[in-house]
């Protein structure tokens, strides 16, 4: 599990509306099961060094989507290191159909994080290490906090995928149902959802992700420039993996298993993940707390300036002053 020196190194998409943060270094690293994943490192900005933020993305997301947030963290004195999970962005895809969101098991994302931690964070990035995760990445972060309390000092998770609303059964029941479907050979079939439409200006009105047109269009610009970064609908097998991860996070024993200090931020107008499930977990977690951002849609880091300002203020209070 090492970073790879590759003459065909990956690159970052460069578009005028989405400037690349200062000092970007891009490369590959490899997981224990030989998946080749794209990563990027960004040095700290001016001021005293405060450590490194490891940034975990949501489903379908990619490094370039977080350039603005990375620059914000650099300006606060942090280095930033991030990567594309297997099956999305510039990383190796899982299965023959590269546009479908597919994974075999949710633990595969945990393996991605462990490989990144050992092959990129520890040898190449300044300590201490902090974890920031969004949506699917937020669930990966919470599971990591329950499995290895030594990897990170603190974690902030944005709209973590610990539950979904409007499901006919709970996470355990949905995991069983999608598991049976996968066993019957249906695992690679797509699960079409409204929010999986390719982003475009025409799809901005009424979208469940952000109220900010400029930030929404940055993603469109990047995908127009690099369409190979796009991921569409998830598969039945991905749904089974995701519901299995959510079921683990909803076990009675899970809140006490998380030993790392955690701050969970939920979006009051979230239509993707369950704000209620985040609140319930936050009330039960001894090492963490939660806050609900009024008026916010799902993608808190991509929201309008007023909402983003609250998110960054929460980061400053919880992580930005951690070593002071």
Task: Give the up-direction half-sphere exposure of residue 318: CA atoms within 13 A in the CB hemisphere.
Answer: 26
Domains of the chain as residue ranges with CATH = 3-320 (3.40.50.1820)
Q: Check residue 84 and give its pLDDT.
A: 98
Q: Check residue 207 and give its pLDDT.
A: 94
* Cα 312-145-163 angle, rounded to 5 deg: 75
Whether 7 shows a pLDDT value over 60: the answer reads: no
Q: Check residue 145 and give its pLDDT.
A: 96
| More confident position, 51 or 199 | 51
- Return d(Cα 199, Cα 243) in angstroms, integer: 25
- Return d(Cα 81, Cα 43) in angstroms, integer: 9
Whether 8 shows a pLDDT value over 90: the answer reads: no
Whether 151 shows a pLDDT value over 90: the answer reads: yes
Mapping DSSP to helix (H, G, I), strand (E, B) and coil, where does residue 292 land?
A: strand
- Return d(Cα 5, Cα 228) in angstroms, integer: 22
Residue 227: CB atoms within 10 Å: 10
Mapping DSSP to helix (H, G, I), strand (E, B) and coil, where does residue 234 land?
A: strand
- Return d(Cα 206, Cα 197) in angstroms, integer: 12
Which H or E run contains 245?
helix 236-249
Whether 195 shows a pLDDT value over 70: the answer reads: no
The torsion angles phi and psi of 292, rounded to 5 degrees, stand at -105, 125
> Which of the four pLDDT bands, split at 50, 70 and 90, describes residue 257?
very high
Per-residue pLDDT tens over the stretch 16-58: 999 999 999 999 999 999 999 999 999 998 777 899 999 999 9
- Return d(Cα 192, Cα 181) in angstroms, integer: 15
Contact 247, 173 (CB under 8 A): no
What is the pTM (predicted TM-score) of this model? 0.95
């Amino acid at each position: 599990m090492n970073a790879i020196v590759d003459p065909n190194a990956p690159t970052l998409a460069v578009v005028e509306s989405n400037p690349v943060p200062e000092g970007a270094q891009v490369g590959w690293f490899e997981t224990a099961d030989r998946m080749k994943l794209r990563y990027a490192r960004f040095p700290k900005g001016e001021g005293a060094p405060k450590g490194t933020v490891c940034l975990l993305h949501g489903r379908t997301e990619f490094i370039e989507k977080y350039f603005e947030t990375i620059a914000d963290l650099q300006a606060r004195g942090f280095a930033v290191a991030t990567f594309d999970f297997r099956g999305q962005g510039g990383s190796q895809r899982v299965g023959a159909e590269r546009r479908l969101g597919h994974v075999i098991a949710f633990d595969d994302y945990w393996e991605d994080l462990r490989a990144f931690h050992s092959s990129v964070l520890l040898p190449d990035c300044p300590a201490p290490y902090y974890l920031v995760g969004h949506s699917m990445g937020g669930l990966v972060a919470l599971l990591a906090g329950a499995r290895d309390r030594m990897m990170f000092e603190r974690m902030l998770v944005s709209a973590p995928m610990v539950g979904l609303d409007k499901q006919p059964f709970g996470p355990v029941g949905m995991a069983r149902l999608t598991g049976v479907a996968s066993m019957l050979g249906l695992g690679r079939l797509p699960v079409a959802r409204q929010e999986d439409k390719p982003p475009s200006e025409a799809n901005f009105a009424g979208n469940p992700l952000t109220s900010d047109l400029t930030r929404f269009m940055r993603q469109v610009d990047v995908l127009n420039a690099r369409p190979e970064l796009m991921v569409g609908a998830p598969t039945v097998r991905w749904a089974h993996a995701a519901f299995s991860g959510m079921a683990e996070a909803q076990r009675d024993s899970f809140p006490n298993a998380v030993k790392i200090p955690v701050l969970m931020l939920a979006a009051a107008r979230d239509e993707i993940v369950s704000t209620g499930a985040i609140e319930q977990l936050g009330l039960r977690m001894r090492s963490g707390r939660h806050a609900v951002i009024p008026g916010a849609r799902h993608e808190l880091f991509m929201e309008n300036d007023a909402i983003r300002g609250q998110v960054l203020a929460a980061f400053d209070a919880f992580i930005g002053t951690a070593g002071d």
